[in-house]
Amino acid sequence: MIDSKVIACNYGLVLLQKKPEYGPSIMILKNTFMLDLKVEMLIEDNCKVNVNDSTIYGKEKNLGEIFY
Q: Answer yes or no: is 26 within a domain.
A: yes
Structural domain boundaries, residue 20: 2-63
Q: Answer yes or no: is 9 within a domain.
A: yes
Q: Answer yes or no: is 68 within a domain.
A: no
CA 46 → CA 32, 37, 38, 39, 52, distances in Å?
22, 24, 23, 20, 20
Q: Answer yes or no: is 43 within a domain.
A: yes
- 68/47: higher pLDDT: 47
Reported as a single tens digit per residue, the pLDDT across 7-53 is 999 999 999 998 889 999 999 999 999 999 999 999 999 999 998 88
Q: What angle do CA 64, 67, 44 make, to 5 degrees?
A: 45
What burial class does residue 19 get, using C-beta atoms within 10 Å of its C-beta: 0-12 exposed, 13-18 middle, 19+ buried?
Answer: exposed
Number of domain units in the chain? 1
pTM: 0.85
